[in-house]
């Protein structure tokens, strides 16, 4: 039990140093950086102590990776300072807890953050209802459905199973594609989205309820972590409109440092926007690899890099296609008399998104899943 406290203890040390450093000039921040980053790294490297809790070790590693880049971008890249007139410790806390950087400084400075009890109670009830609903779905419906209908073995995730289109076209490229394989691909193409959504959103809800209940924060300071799934028609919109944006500000901050100091791109130019999008996907791959590695889970860095890089390429292609489409005469997307066409485009976008993940997710996850299943099979064999 004591080892479970090691990762949060080191994280707490790093967070405390951040709360002090954000109130100091740059040179003092630099002096404190070894303690801040050292504590964060110690927490990250100790994430394997959480392996007794399913997926928590990897989730902790991801959070810590995001925290490290968030702290670096706030303190040393953007050199964010507490606004004049803002209560220093309150402002420091608001910056520390907000990687999305959604600040209402006027309300903080004026201390006008009073929310009536009814609004707080409504917020807490709605959030807890959502968390309970997600838990019921996972533990009593979706999880049991997967367990009862899919008995995974290590052979299900072999190297040849990662290949689909080539086996579909050339029959001599590998074993025939079976209905079971198609079912597994369809399942895993969307199940990873649900699991990530479930874990992150429930954590976000519990934190929001805790701090709103203590009256440290207002409900407005805890907007939903994910967007609407109704906006996720297409790969670009999946990442930009639906997926969480926890890493976007810090990735953009470090990306602009590269484009403006090293590459000398014009600010807000097309080249800079393309590079920042690439940089965000690249760092996401690094996050996932490092989190798996430090958590003691199977890690495949080249698979992570491939998946996120191919997502970047597809997003870029979608932007280009959308631009070309808007140049077609008499075409208006999603407005007025063309609203039916817009619905058709949305449907096509969802089909395209499903097909892309159907093709790409196995190349990203199958080798990791194979290693995990082999580990389980070995432990069962030893138990016998």
What's the rounded Cα separation, in Å, for the pair 360 and 374?
Answer: 22
Count of residues in the chain:
384
Give the model confidence (pLDDT) of 73-122 as tens digits. Answer: 999 999 999 988 889 999 999 999 899 998 877 777 776 666 677 789 99
Can you list the alpha helix ranges (DSSP code H) found in the chain? Answer: 6-21, 26-45, 56-72, 88-96, 105-110, 117-136, 143-149, 165-169, 179-213, 235-237, 248-257, 270-294, 301-326, 339-383
Residue 293 lies in a domain: no
- Please give the C-alpha separations between residue 342 and each of 292, 317, 347, 352, in angstroms, as whole numbers: 40, 19, 9, 15
Give the residue among 92, 100, 89 at the shortest CA–CA distance from 75: 92
Written as one string, the DSSP assignment of 90-147 is: HHHHHHHT-TT----HHHHHHT-----HHHHHHHHHHHHHHHHHHHHIIIIIIHHHHH
Hey, CA dihedral for 274, 276, 279, 281, is it positive or negative?
negative
Q: Is the pLDDT of residue 336 over 70?
A: no
301 contact partners, CB below 8 Å, separation of at least 6: 285, 289
The three-state secondary structure class of 178 is: coil
Number of domains in the chain: 1
Residue 60 lies in a domain: yes
Range of the domain at 73: 1-99
The residue-averaged pLDDT of 323-335 equals 67
Angle at 62 between CA 238 and CA 42, to 5 degrees: 165
pLDDT at 1: 56
Residue 53 lies in a domain: yes
What's the rounded Cα separation, in Å, for the pair 217 and 220?
Answer: 8
Hey, CA dihedral for 269, 304, 236, 96, is it positive or negative?
negative
Residue 89 lies in a domain: yes
Contacts of 184-187 with CB under 8 Å at 24 or more apart are 184/150, 184/152, 184/156, 185/358, 185/361, 185/362, 186/354, 186/358, 187/146, 187/150
- Please give the C-alpha separations between residue 220 and each of 107, 119, 132, 178, 212, in angstroms, as whole numbers: 11, 10, 21, 50, 10
Residue 29 lies in a domain: yes
Give the model confidence (pLDDT) of 117-129 as tens digits. Answer: 778 999 999 999 9
Residue 93 lies in a domain: yes
Please, which pLDDT band fits residue 384 given cuts at 50, 70 and 90?
low
332 contact partners, CB below 8 Å, separation of at least 6: 338
Structure-derived torsion over alpha carbons of residues 25, 264, 254, 195, reported in degrees to the nearest 10 = 160
Residue 82 lies in a domain: yes
Please, which pLDDT band fits residue 337 given cuts at 50, 70 and 90?
very low
Give the model confidence (pLDDT) of 196-255 as tens digits. Answer: 999 999 999 999 999 999 988 989 899 999 999 999 999 999 999 999 999 999 999 999
Hey, CA dihedral for 134, 5, 298, 237, is it positive or negative?
positive
Q: Is the pLDDT of residue 383 over 60?
A: no
Residue 107 lies in a domain: no
Contact 354, 189 (CB under 8 A): yes
């Amino acid at each position: 039990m004591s080892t479970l406290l090691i990762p949060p203890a080191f994280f707490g040390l790093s967070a405390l140093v951040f709360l002090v450093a954000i109130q100091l000039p740059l040179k003092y921040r630099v002096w404190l950086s070894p303690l801040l980053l050292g504590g964060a790294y110690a927490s990250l490297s100790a994430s394997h102590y959480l392996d007794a809790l399913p997926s928590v070790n990897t989730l902790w590693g991801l959070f810590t990776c995001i925290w490290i880049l968030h702290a670096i971008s706030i303190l040393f890249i953007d050199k964010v300072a507490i606004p004049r007139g803002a209560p220093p410790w309150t402002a420091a806390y608001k910056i520390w807890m907000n990687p999305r950087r959604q600040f209402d400084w006027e309300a903080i400075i004026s201390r006008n953050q009073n929310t009536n009890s009814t609004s707080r109670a409504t917020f807490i009830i709605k959030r807890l209802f959502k968390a309970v609903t997600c838990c019921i779905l996972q533990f009593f419906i979706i999880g049991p459905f997967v367990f009862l209908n899919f008995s995974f073995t290590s052979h299900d995730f072999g190297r040849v199973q990662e290949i689909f289109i080539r086996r579909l076209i050339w029959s001599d490229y590998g074993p025939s594609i079976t209905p079971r394989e198609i079912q597994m691909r369809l399942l895993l193409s969307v199940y990873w989205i649900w699991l990530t959504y479930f874990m992150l959103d429930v954590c976000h809800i519990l934190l929001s309820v805790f701090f709103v209940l203590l009256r440290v924060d207002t409900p407005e300071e805890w907007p939903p972590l994910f967007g609407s799934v109704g906006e996720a028609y297409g790969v670009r919109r999946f990442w930009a409109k639906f997926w969480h944006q926890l890493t976007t500000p810090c990735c953009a901050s470090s990306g602009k440092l590269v484009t403006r100091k090293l590459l000398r791109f014009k600010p807000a130019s097309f080249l800079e926007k393309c590079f920042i999008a690439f940089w965000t996907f690249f760092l996401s791959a690094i996050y996932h690899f490092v989190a798996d590695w430090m958590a003691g889970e199977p890690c495949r860095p080249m698979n992570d890099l491939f998946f996120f890089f191919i997502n970047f390429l597809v997003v870029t292609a979608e932007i280009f296609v959308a631009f070309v489409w808007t140049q077609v005469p008499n075409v208006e997307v999603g407005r007025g008399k063309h609203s039916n066409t817009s619905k058709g485009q949305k449907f096509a976008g969802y089909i395209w998104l499903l097909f892309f993940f159907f093709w790409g997710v196995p190349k990203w996850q199958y080798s990791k899943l194979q290693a995990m299943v082999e580990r389980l099979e070995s432990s069962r064999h030893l138990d016998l």
